[in-house]
Amino acid sequence: MKIVQFDRFGPAHDVSACVEVADPQGPASDEVIVDIAAFPINPADLLTIEGKYAIKPPLPATPGAEGVGTVRAVGSAVSDIVVGDRVIMLTRENWVQKRVAKASEVIKVAPDGDVLQQAMLKVNPATALLMLRNYIDLKPGDWVIQDAANSGVGNSVIRLAKSMGVKTVNVVRREELIAPLTAMGADVLVLDGDGLTERVAAATDNGNIRLGIDAVAGDTSLRVAECLGENAKLVNYGMLSGEPCKIMPDQVVFKGIDLTGFWLAKDLGSMSRSDAEKLYGELSSQVSDGSLSVSVEASYDIADIKDALAHAAREGRNGKILVRPN
C-alpha cells in the first residue's frame, strides 16, 4: 500500500514522499482495519512535518491528524463496529491507504455523508464548537468575533454560531472573501487593519462582544482584543502570524479581558468516549443535513502528495486541500 512518510523535518513538500510499504497484518482482536477514503492537510500537519508542532514524532514518521474511511476488517473482540462502517480516526498517522487502529480510536459517522466533509470533522468543526461552547455562556443574539474567518475553523464558527443564533464578526485579510463568507452566513465581515475597533463598533451598533476567537496572534490579536467588551474572553488557538499574542494592559486590567488558549488534543484527551461520540455524532449529523461544511479548493491522489502539500502551504486559498488515497 501507499503511505506518506517524512524522514527529516523541513518544508512539507520537500521532505515528504509517497512510499510503497507492505499491507498491514491483522487486525488483532481489539483492532480494525480501515480503507482511508480521504484526509485533509491542515496547518498543524505542515507544522508537524516542519518539526515546529507541540508533538514531534520519531523519524521516519507518517503524518495525518485526521481522516475518514470504511472498515474492511474487525478483530474478534470488537463488538460495536462492523465491516462496512464508515469511521473517522481519532489518533494520528492517517496519511495511508490502509490504517490499522484500535477500535477505541475510531468513531462511526453517517454512512452516506459527504466524505470530504467527514474527513475534516475531527479537527476544525470540533475546535469551533468547543470554543463557542466552553468559554462564554452564549445566548441567541450574542456577538462573537473571530479572525482568519475564511479558514476551516472559521467556516465552522460561522455555520455553528448561526445554528446557535449567535452573530459573528469575521475578520479577514482579503476583500474577495466578503461575498462568499456573507453567503455562508457571516453577519459582519471586516478587513483586518487600522480602525478595526471603530469599524466593528459601527457594524454591530456598539454590540457587546464577549468572545474573541484568534488564530493569528500578533497585531491582529491586539486589534481583536480592542473590539471586546467587559470581562470578555480572548481564546487563542493558532499561531498563523508567527508573532506573540498581543493584548494591551488596559484591556486586561480595566476591562477584565482574559487571554486563554485552546488545544483540541488536550480537550479530546480528557473527554470520555461517550462525550466524544456525542460531540462527533452531533457534528456528523450537521454535515449530513448540509448545515455544516467547510470550503474545499482541491483534492489530490496520494501519489501527488508533494503537489498537495505545496498547494496546502499556499496563502490565499479558497478552501482546504484534501487527499483521496484510495
Ligand X SMILES: NC(=O)c1ccc[n+]([C@@H]2O[C@H](COP(=O)([O-])OP(=O)(O)OC[C@H]3O[C@@H](n4cnc5c(N)ncnc54)[C@H](OP(=O)(O)O)[C@@H]3O)[C@@H](O)[C@H]2O)c1
Any idea which residues carry the catalytic annotation? Answer: 53
33 binds ligand X (CB under 6 A): no
Can you give the C-alpha Rg of the chain in angstroms? 20
Give the residue from 31, 58, 55 showing the smallest Cα distance to 44. 55
The grid coordinates listed for 265 are: 488534543
Minimum CB separation from ligand X for residue 236, in Å? 8
Environment class of 99 (CB within 10 Å of its CB; exposed 0-12, middle 13-18, buried 19+) = buried
Among 10, 179, 260, 263, binds ligand X (CB under 6 A): 263
Minimum CB separation from ligand X for residue 122, in Å? 10
Residues 98/36, Cβ–Cβ less than 8 Å: yes
Minimum CB separation from ligand X for residue 79, in Å? 31
Among 5, 42, 62, 168, binds ligand X (CB under 6 A): 42
∠ CA 43-47-50, rounded to 5°: 140
Could you give the string, one character per residue 162-191, with x where binding to ligand X holds by CB under 6 A and - elsewhere? -----------xx-----------------
Strand ranges of the sheet holding 143-146, from the earlier edge strand across to the other edge: 188-191, 167-172, 143-146, 209-214, 233-236, 258-261
Q: Which helix (H) or strand (E) holds 11?
A: none
Sites for ligand X among residues 284-323 (CB under 6 A): 315-317, 320
Choice between 215 and 305, CB closer to ligand X: 215
d(CA 252, CA 247): 7
Choice between 128 and 247, CB closer to ligand X: 128
d(CA 83, CA 174): 45
Choice between 43 and 207, CB closer to ligand X: 43
Give the residue from 270, 326, 274, 267 showing the smallest Cα distance to 302. 326
Choice between 13 and 98, CB closer to ligand X: 13
Number of residues that bind ligand X (CB under 6 A): 27
The grid coordinates listed for 309 are: 502539500
Among 113, 152, 207, 325, binds ligand X (CB under 6 A): 152
Could you give the string, one character per residue 77-116, with x where binding to ligand X holds by CB under 6 A and - elsewhere? ----------------------------------------
Could you give the string, one character per residue 120-139, with x where binding to ligand X holds by CB under 6 A and - elsewhere? ---xx--x------------
- Per CB under 6 A, residues contacting ligand X are 42-44, 123-124, 127, 148, 150-153, 173-174, 215-216, 237-241, 262-264, 315-317, 320
